[in-house]
A and B are shown apart, each in its own frame.
Chain A
């Protein structure tokens, strides 16, 4: 298939990122337009994710597109044993673009090979969630005025967190310095560190976030889940090291912003919400603009 899809963050290069981010800022300035009038977009959520689905549907509705689809596997023919192949072929004949989330890794890539309409991957298991990465990048650009030469601290589950991995790969293009803060069990996998080393990107690893908070431009928090620990005692011992509290922000930089892909559990204390450095709710809002940008980019709609 030659149809353009967005399956993996590595499908895009710097030019594409810049184009999407530019479009997103135009949508932020003017989010309600007629651009998708007469278009039908399918949102196929083979696995539920209300947050992501609503963000996409808001993006489409604001541009006057129509949405068809399903919100979870219980309402689909998958439960009747229909293959993903057949679901995609069928739905593709009803719509102009498919947004899909699927529990299996590589599902969106496969769909993009058989679909005559573009596919947007809204999450394929633990693998990729590229629209999250683009909205993260947009949030970084918006709050810092640039993507270049930033000090980015990533905190929490760096081993399994796909948003972390994709963000590292994308931001690598802008000469960042990374600080990785995690319990020893949840360190960034070696393959990513090797890639960073190969590209001469500076990074360091830390067990305590206090070591790097004050020098960071961006602090990207993620959940540390108890289930990830083989030893529950180890979790109890370390969990408080990965909770961000208001008093820890006292000496942080003026421009520093805290991001989180949401939903949070307890890793950002509620007392942080009122801080001007807390940016995670705006970040979620940026998701709508980023998704409007991606949809129009893939459909070749000029604004």
Chain B
């Protein structure tokens, strides 16, 4: 499915569900993991290393019968702010969604501070988003700032 025709087929074949497009290829598996797609039982199709004028190489995810809440979608904003979503109903795009970074995030990236409790105990890291572009996160535990170049996704 590495060519344009393949991708076209995937998208048009979706009857009801969500298409996540414009994912940089290298971020595909992170998106899958953040959205916990492994827990979804309906049909999911992935395409990656597809040609893209904007991104060079992009990935696409098509999930049948799944409609995300905006809050869930926003979780992928820290890694793929450029992603676009098409909501498909009865083979038609009925809505487009864009991702936007929420004011706080939980359990997506680790705290950059090695002395932070979240890196020593089983604590879900929680951050307040203090800057959206480039992303800068304030740890709610150690109060240190983790910026985009130091993200370690969980």
How near does chain B come to A89, taking the closest CB pair, in angstroms?
12
For A191, the chain B residues whose CB sits under 8 A away are 145
Question: In the complex, what residue of chain B is closest to A165 when comparing beta carbons?
Answer: B143
Contact between A106 and B122 (Cβ–Cβ < 8 Å)? no
Tell me if A8 counts as interface (CB < 8 A to partner B).
yes
Question: In the complex, what residue of chain A is closest to B123 when comparing beta carbons?
Answer: A110
For A104, the chain B residues whose CB sits under 8 A away are 115-117, 120
Q: Report if A125-B115 is in contact (Cβ < 8 Å); known contacts: A85-B121, A104-B120.
A: yes
Tell me the interface secondary structure of chain B in the complex: loop
For A16, the chain B residues whose CB sits under 8 A away are none
Contact between A8 and B143 (Cβ–Cβ < 8 Å)? yes
A83, B113: Cα distance in complex, Å: 19
Contact between B115 and A109 (Cβ–Cβ < 8 Å)? no
Contact between A126 and B141 (Cβ–Cβ < 8 Å)? no
For A153, the chain B residues whose CB sits under 8 A away are none
Tell me if B140 counts as interface (CB < 8 A to partner A).
yes
A83: contacting residue among B121, B142, B144, CB under 8 A: B121
A191, B120: Cα distance in complex, Å: 26
Tell me if B105 counts as interface (CB < 8 A to partner A).
no
Kindly state the interface size class of chain B when it binds its partner. 10 to 19
Question: In the complex, what residue of chain A is closest to B119 when comparing beta carbons?
Answer: A104
Question: In the complex, what residue of chain B is closest to A85 when comparing beta carbons?
Answer: B121
A85, B139: Cα distance in complex, Å: 19
For B118, the chain A residues whose CB sits under 8 A away are 106, 110
Contact between A110 and B115 (Cβ–Cβ < 8 Å)? no
How near does chain A come to B153, taking the closest CB pair, in angstroms?
20
B117: contacting residue among A8, A84, A126, A128, CB under 8 A: A84
Q: Report if A105-B115 is in contact (Cβ < 8 Å); known contacts: A110-B141, A127-B143.
A: yes
Q: What 1/0 mask marks residues of chain B from 96 to 129 whose CB sits below 8 Å from any chain A CB?
A: 0000000000000001010111101111000000
Contact between B143 and A110 (Cβ–Cβ < 8 Å)? no
Q: What 1/0 mask marks residues of chain A from 1 to 26 whose CB sits below 8 Å from any chain B CB?
A: 00000001000000000000000000
A127: contacting residue among B120, B121, B123, B142, CB under 8 A: B142
Q: Report if A109-B140 is in contact (Cβ < 8 Å); known contacts: A83-B121, A84-B121, A85-B122.
A: yes
Contact between B144 and A110 (Cβ–Cβ < 8 Å)? no
How near does chain B come to A111, taking the closest CB pair, in angstroms?
9
For B145, the chain A residues whose CB sits under 8 A away are 191
Question: In the complex, what residue of chain B is closest to A105 when comparing beta carbons?
Answer: B142
CB within 8 Å of B: which A216-260 residues: none
For A85, the chain B residues whose CB sits under 8 A away are 121-122
Q: List 6 A-B contacts (CB under 8 A).
A: A105-B144, A106-B140, A107-B141, A110-B118, A125-B142, A128-B143
Chain B residues at the A interface, C-beta cutoff of 8 Å: 111, 113, 115-118, 120-123, 139-145
